[in-house]
Structure 1
């Protein structure tokens, strides 16, 4: 199905009465943008306003890419804005999109598309225009492109894949005897083989075998649950396979309560524990790569371990989206689409931060193959396990927060897997019963 013309006038977005955006939201969004003159009147250049949520190492790489974009596009008055990651950004995004004048293109997580109002706040991408710049489903990771497609229309342009992977300290793992002839972590299959590796590494470090972020336990849980073939239904009555969920939670209990992993390790402590040699393995997002590289560690990376039959890991994708416009602006849409295509084609720079580019000519290039340790887990991007679809699901959304709050206790031993599952199911059902805000 060919996407409809997103540049024609559309009615103002209609938001639900329970929306956190309710009450003067459109006015707030308009105020954000101001009431300045037309884009090209003063500068003679096409204005392009871009919003993103990248700080830290990701932010530095984004600035580097934007500097290169500016040099190659002197006719574009490029105006990027960076906001705080997570809910602050998504609240501001919704306000700006509702106002209709805040940005021309913005960055989102693919997992948040459905919850942020496709056709209400987010417009379909003109795929014919995108194709003119060489970006089609054939040139992008298929699994990610398909997640950006809703009802046969493309609503986002995927930039990357980021997911939970396995890091290994080569010194500790060599001492433990768990490296292969190429200096990579040995393959494991099943619970016992992985736990045996963790035990050997624990003996080498004298403290722990593996460390993971217990305050974001959803990531490990969803990876394990999906390896077991588990599915969620997040509408009407919650659908979940209790047996598979309990098996995944019991693995988290077992690895922490046996002393192979710390019972408690938050987002900041986890890479620090790995860097300090407290554990020789780390299960975490590939976004920690720059921090460890800057520390001068000798480490490698590979996919999330095969615990229950496959190396599947929870993850997401950063993508670019276009706002629904009250008035058509063909030039702004054309500039936004060309910008997104340029970013995909130049995403080798972005790969330096650990994310796997969605644009296949980059990931299949000799330059990407030479990146270490990025190339060690590039195949995992094809099997990334996105969060289940619901308005309250996805990165920085309520389902992750509710799950992690409960599942953390399984690591510490404060609750049993059975109790944790019961509490999570209650919290998830309350979210299901809450009307969507957009």
Structure 2
């Protein structure tokens, strides 16, 4: 069987070891693994392979991209009975993740993980700023003002800034932060093709204004790029970084006792921006029953037996029984931010959104001036709405 994935570096090595373990457990199965560079090009190749009828038996997809593939017939649904026979059932997954894996009542994606946008912190700096509780964990924060105050306290310790956030010229960071916090306000949205986008503009402006307040030069720099934010955090020039959990290995190399926590609930409703790596079944013109059986067995083996290995890279296993295993309890700080997987908020379920999309890049562009202090928050929200309207007026090419 063939599997396409988009994992490089340490993630790629872990996935290869998980696949190797799956073939050892099922010696009658051989895996031809193909790793492609992630981004729009990957999803274009996957769509072309599916439409041409000669795709791999399985592929990795960001769940946020599913809405652009399942409705167009580019993927095949999973057989729930076949999965259940292998120990994979709906109750094993967080409801929010399982819901996004379905379309028209059928399961089109088998979630491997959730990878949320969270906070990592230096216990040394946070402790010196009197921000750790009796257990040595970051003090609970429940309001925008408390978050900003924590940043100011850490800035006094570092002599530079309290927090790091690399958004400058980035195609996703500002959107990840905005969309997670917008969900925390409890506000809704309506993105219907052919109609104007609807957001709670007051809530959206409130969120952008908060981010502007954070990027004041003391709490966090207003003009920091992605590598600059990482460098600031690992060298102790900031005590906390707003970051994806996928960067955990790099942080642990520099700060062995690095702490992690879900993004605090600042606006009343628990929510944490995230995406999910998931396995999908590209549409086969002539499906081979033996290959399909092997695919199910391998994917089930990876989820049930390999998820702990995958968690070592920082990802939260989507197959939740792993979270109760003794081995997971030994993973720090993974165990401290695992709760983020229960309140995940993915990109809007529309064909143009999701990881590596032009949509995310254009949302970030719309906010860029406001986050650098050049324009008002209202201008950023108006810009995002214009961009959303443009996407909604464009037919789905798939």
Report the TM-score, using the length of structure 2 for normalisation.
0.95
For residue 314 of structure 1, give the secondary structure of its aligned residue in structure 2: strand
- In 2, the alpha carbon distance for the partners of 1:299 and 1:223 equals 23
- In 2, the alpha carbon distance for the partners of 1:186 and 1:227 equals 19
For residue 192 of structure 1, give the secondary structure of its aligned residue in structure 2: helix
Deviates more, 1:370-379 or 1:249-258: 249-258
The answer to whether residue 359 in structure 2 is matched with residue 402 in structure 1 is no
1:254 alignment partner in structure 2: 213
Q: CA deviation at 1:315?
A: 0.6
1:278 alignment partner in structure 2: 237
- Where do 5+ consecutive residues of structure 1 fail to align? 1-47
2:196 alignment partner in structure 1: 237
- In 2, the alpha carbon distance for the partners of 1:294 and 1:394 equals 30
Candidates 276, 281, 293, aligned match of 1:334? 293
- Where do 5+ consecutive residues of structure 2 fail to align? none
1:24 alignment partner in structure 2: none
The answer to whether residue 76 in structure 2 is matched with residue 123 in structure 1 is yes
CA contact (8 A) 2:55 2:283 kept: no
Q: How does 1:312-323 map to 2 (within 5 A)?
A: 312-323=271-282
For residue 208 of structure 1, give the secondary structure of its aligned residue in structure 2: coil
The answer to whether residue 128 in structure 2 is matched with residue 175 in structure 1 is yes
CA contact (8 A) 1:287 1:354 kept: yes
The answer to whether residue 150 in structure 2 is matched with residue 197 in structure 1 is yes
List per-residue Cα deviations over 1:34-56 (Å, max 9, x = no partner): xxxxxxxxxxxxxx100000112
Q: CA deviation at 1:291?
A: 1.0
For residue 388 of structure 1, give the secondary structure of its aligned residue in structure 2: coil
CA contact (8 A) 2:186 2:269 kept: no
Which is higher, the Rg of structure 1 or of structure 2?
Answer: 1
1:351 alignment partner in structure 2: 311
1:5 alignment partner in structure 2: none
CA contact (8 A) 1:257 1:411 kept: no
- In 2, the alpha carbon distance for the partners of 1:411 and 1:56 equals 31
The answer to whether residue 380 in structure 2 is matched with residue 425 in structure 1 is no
CA contact (8 A) 2:23 2:298 kept: no
- In 1, the alpha carbon distance for the partners of 2:189 and 2:105 equals 23
Candidates 24, 29, 35, aligned match of 1:82? 35
Q: How does 1:6-25 map to 2 (within 5 A)?
A: none
CA contact (8 A) 1:118 1:155 kept: no
Candidates 284, 299, 318, aligned match of 1:325? 284
Q: CA deviation at 1:259?
A: 2.6
- In 1, the alpha carbon distance for the partners of 2:270 and 2:249 equals 23
The answer to whether residue 24 in structure 2 is matched with residue 71 in structure 1 is yes
List per-residue Cα deviations over 1:364-385 (Å, max 9, x = no partner): 2121111100000111101011
The answer to whether residue 91 in structure 2 is matched with residue 138 in structure 1 is yes
Q: Which segments of structure 1 move beyond 4 Å, counting only runs of 4 or more?
A: none
Q: CA deviation at 1:137?
A: 0.3
Report the TM-score, using the length of structure 1 for normalisation.
0.87
List per-residue Cα deviations over 1:161-195 (Å, max 9, x = no partner): 11111111011111111111111100011111111
Q: How does 1:29-44 map to 2 (within 5 A)?
A: none
Candidates 87, 96, 107, aligned match of 2:60? 107
Q: CA deviation at 1:406?
A: 1.7
Tell me how many residue pairs correspond in the alignment: 391
CA contact (8 A) 2:161 2:217 kept: no
- In 2, the alpha carbon distance for the partners of 1:117 and 1:154 equals 10
Q: CA deviation at 1:70?
A: 2.6
Deviates more, 1:354-363 or 1:253-262: 253-262
Q: CA deviation at 1:267?
A: 2.4
Tell me how large the CA RMSD over aligned residues is. Answer: 1.3
CA contact (8 A) 1:100 1:326 kept: yes
The answer to whether residue 168 in structure 2 is matched with residue 208 in structure 1 is no
